[in-house]
Chains A and B, each alone.
Chain A
Amino acid sequence: MIEAKNLNKYYGNFQALKDVSFKVEKGEIVGFLGPNGAGKTTTMRILTGFIPPDSGTARVAGFDIQTQSIEVRRRIGYLPESVPLYKEMTVTAFLRFLATIRGMTGRRREDRIKEVIHTCRLDEYPKTAITKLSKGYRQLVGIAQAIIHEPEVLILDEPTIGIDPRQVVHIRGLIQKLGQEHTVILSSHILPEVSMVCERIIIMDQGKIVAVDRPKNLSAGLGGMQRYEIEAAGSKEKILARLKEVRGVVKIEVKDEGQTKRYLVESQPGLDIRDELSSAVKDGGFRLLGLKSQEMSLEDIFLRLTAKEKE
């Protein structure tokens, strides 16, 4: 559905994209992950035809983004990072304008506006001026305009930034639902969010793609360790001894906090040893107060990736 080949982009002397190539299959939800300035927005702007690449090319739905830009734009729904809206318009008027410039007319357009307002839970505000809506609802209007013309490809730049947690949950659900019918690309700098919603993650740093993988494989594939945090009461030495016997455990650190102690266990990646760990503690006659597996954070992954490059 989307195929980018060797995209390069300079802003003056600054190279924002360095040979970026990737593919997105039809119906996939793909997340671009990376810190600010990694090139996520630039990549999206190139795909939507807002700016051209300095070299390289991309095809969306079989059309070249430079020579067949209008055809590409017809097939893309785009939510820019800043969520630009004509704030003096009402929600309905705004959606009507955007539907119209994307070629919709008459009955079909009006029905679709109602449908989209319902999908995005804007039912209470069709006649409200956008300027009076809260940040979260404006975000929803932004998503509504992106999907109004039933595009094949949805490109969402930071769709959940700066809104309250309840709406984040709603928007994530919405994106997953949209992913059933559309090809979706979204960007974020929050790892758990991307791994929750996306089937595949493209990690960018300093204008380059540094990793592409499924969320589950990411931390394992990077040679990282699986981590667990155990809270238990009882003799430190005996518990340590028992934990060390569990298969796959590589390293244990102890944090002393008075009565209970916390054990930070690292194990080989790709194994889930929570069951074994809890049995090890309980079978020894100690009280297990807490056990959780810790995902590798975005920071960890970045540190590993960038460290790898320097080697």
Chain B
Amino acid sequence: MRNIVVITGKEIRGYLDAPSFYIIISVFLFISGYGFGWSPATFMESSIQGFLEWGQLFLLFLGPALTVRLFAEEEKLGTLELLLTAPLRDVEIVLGKFMAALGIFSLMLFLTFFYPLLLFGFGHPDFGPLFSGYLGLFLLGAVFLSIGLFTSSLTSNQIVAYIMGSALVLFFWFIGQTEGLTGDQTFRIFQLVSVSTYFPAFGRGIIDSNGVIYYLSLVIVFLFLTLRSLESRRWR
């Protein structure tokens, strides 16, 4: 546990020291703020629906962008050799890095609490959908971050890692939007696999256990694959 915290601390400092992080966070706030500010839902329902719709799309970009550096850079600089020869278990390294990305993402979500505060100031928003909406965004973010972490562990080239991460994220997102392109049976399976199927319910205030469990399972699967990928470099 202590080792995980040490790695997380190092990575969070890494984020805060990198100029690119502030660019990402600014773009995120700009886009989510745009979605919030221009959505009719904000004014008519006092809901964060507009923010959620734009936020989820931004996550497609954010997931790989935040995580691409975590393993690829260490591999490139050779510092992975320092980490892997330190008395750390591989799982501690993976979890430490994932927690750092998740922590930074949580910080970004925290900054958007400004939007619901505005709603409370000027209207009477429903607390339920606010909470479930943020929970959905958080879980979806966790899925994309774990995918990004996985592709980062596959290569020393950050661009390659980013492209692979984006491809996987887009796959899991858009496979549920292929209605009419495939047969009904296939589409139903695609919908089960796609992360986009489960998201709208969160925005409506429903905490769907299928969605929560599916998102969490994906996180676990990709963290496990990351761990395997890290272990496999010891065997190459």
A residues in contact (CB < 8 Å) with B: 45, 48-52, 70-71, 73-74, 76, 78, 80, 82, 84-88, 97-98, 100-103, 145
Query: A100: which B residues are within 8 A, CB to CB?
Result: 6
**A90 CB to closest chain B CB, in angstroms?**
11
Q: Is B23 an interface residue (CB 8 A)?
A: no
- A-B residue pair count with CB separations less than 8 angstroms: 59
Asked if B79 CB lies within 8 Å of chain A CBs, one says yes
Tell whether B77 is near chain A: CB-to-CB under 8 Å. Answer: yes
B204 at the interface (CB under 8 A from A): no
**25 sample A-B contacts, Cβ–Cβ < 8 Å, listed by A number:** A50-B81, A50-B234, A51-B234, A51-B235, A51-B236, A52-B235, A70-B87, A73-B86, A73-B87, A74-B87, A78-B85, A80-B78, A80-B82, A84-B79, A84-B82, A85-B79, A86-B77, A88-B14, A88-B17, A97-B6, A97-B10, A98-B86, A101-B87, A101-B88, A103-B87
Given contacts A50-B234, A73-B86, 19 further A-B contacts (CB under 8 A): A48-B85, A49-B84, A50-B81, A50-B85, A70-B89, A78-B81, A80-B82, A84-B79, A84-B81, A84-B82, A85-B77, A87-B77, A88-B14, A98-B82, A100-B6, A101-B7, A102-B86, A102-B87, A145-B82
* Residue B26 interfacial (CB < 8 Å): no
Residues of B close to A50: CB separation below 8 A: 81, 84-85, 234
Closest to A51 in B: B234
Q: Chain A's nearest CB lies how many Å from the CB of B97?
A: 13
Q: Is B3 an interface residue (CB 8 A)?
A: yes
By a CB distance below 8 angstroms, the chain B residues around A48 are: 85
The number of residues on chain B lying at the interface, defined by a beta carbon within 8 Å of a beta carbon of chain A, is 22
Cβ contacts under 8 Å, B6 to chain A: 97, 100-101
Residues in A neighbouring B10, C-beta threshold 8 A: 97
Q: Which of A52, A84, A87, A98 has the most CB of B within 10 A?
A: A84
CB <8 Å contact, A73 and B85: yes
Q: Mark B76-104, 1 if CB is under 8 A from A, else 0.
A: 01111111111111000000000000000
> How many Å from the CB of A82 to the closest CB on chain B?
4
Query: How many whole Å from B153's CB to the nearest CB in chain A?
Result: 16
CB distance from A276 to the nearest CB of B (A): 53
Bound Cα distance A103, B86 (Å):
10
Return chain B residues, CB-CB under 8 Å to A52.
234-235
Docked complex Cα distance between A48 and B80 (Å): 13
A76 to B78, CA, bound (A): 18
Q: Which B residues touch A84, using CB under 8 A?
A: 77-82
Least CB distance, A225 to chain B, in whole angstroms: 42
In the complex, the chain B residue whose C-beta lies closest to that of A101 is B86
B3 touches A101 (CB 8 A): yes
Give the docked Cα–Cα distance between A37 and B78 (Å).
19
Which residue of chain B has its CB nearest to the CB of A129?
A: B17
B193 to chain A, nearest CB (A): 36
Collect the chain A residues with CB atoms within 8 Å of residue B235's CB. 51-52
CB contacts (< 8 Å) of A73 on chain B: these are: 85-87
Q: Which of B3, B81, B83 has the most CB of A within 10 A?
A: B81
Give Cα A88 to B77, complex, Å. 12
Are B85 and A86 in touch, CB under 8 angstroms? Answer: no
Task: Report whether B81 and A80 are in contact in the complex, using a CB–CB cutoff of 8 Å.
Answer: yes
Complex alpha-carbon distance, A27 and B10, angstroms: 34
Within 8 A of A (CB), among B1-43: 3, 6-7, 10, 14, 17
Chain B residues with Cβ under 8 A from A71's Cβ?
A: 87
Please, how many angstroms separate the alpha-carbon atoms of A89 and B57 in the complex? Answer: 34
Which residues of the other chain, B, contact A103 by a CB distance below 8 angstroms? 87
B201, chain A: closest CB distance, angstroms = 42
Least Cβ–Cβ distance between B157 and chain A, in angstroms: 17
Which among A76, A82, A87, A88 is the interface contact of B85 at CB below 8 angstroms? A76
* Chain B 205-234 residues near chain A, CB threshold 8 A: 234
Counting chain A CB atoms within 10 Å of each CB, which of B6, B86, B88 scores highest?
A: B86
Query: Chain A contacts of B79 at CB under 8 A?
Result: 84-86
